[in-house]
Amino acid sequence: MKSNLLAAVLATSIISLGGMAHAAPVAGSETVGISVDEAKVAALGWSAQKQILHKPVYNDDKKKIGVIEDMIVSPENSVSYAVVGVGGFLGIDRHDVLIPFNHFKAEGHEFLLPGANKAKLKSLPEFRYSK
């Protein structure tokens, strides 16, 4: 499995066939959805819901330091950040921070954040969604 989570996550947001990216249909066009071939390719990608969201984040010592709570898609339509929740219990007193996806490493089904610990994450500015 690739050790770079960014590549895996970007693969879920951009479907390529033969090197050509397929964009969403333009308003007013007759094409809606994707072809059977495109669906087969998409099925081989990562599912954010099943394989990324709400999964624990570990540090170099394999200690759990947070949970991936959300993914932020930049205006350029690429997944850029993970919202990592640190501390708290059942969402109470949780400290959410943004971490660029290219800072993570995927090892098997675990997401590692090298050089991080709970104290470092809690010292980062808290992420809040805009209204």
Query: Which CATH number fits the domain that encloses residue 47?
Result: 2.30.30.240
Q: In terms of residues, how long is the chain?
A: 131
In a domain, 62, yes or no: yes
Say if residues 54 and 60 touch (Cβ distance below 8 Å). no
Range of the domain at 26: 5-123
pLDDT, tens digit, 9 for 90 and up, residues 78-112: 778 999 999 877 667 889 999 998 999 988 888 99
In a domain, 129, yes or no: no
In a domain, 130, yes or no: no
In a domain, 18, yes or no: yes
Say if residues 59 and 65 touch (Cβ distance below 8 Å). yes
In a domain, 13, yes or no: yes
Q: Model confidence at 53, in pLDDT bands (50, 70, 90)?
A: confident
Of residues 70 and 23, more confidently modeled: 70
- Tell me the three state secondary structure of residue 107: strand
Number of domains in the chain: 1
Distance CA 6, CA 90 (A): 28
In a domain, 61, yes or no: yes
In a domain, 131, yes or no: no
Paired strand residues for 82? 71, 99
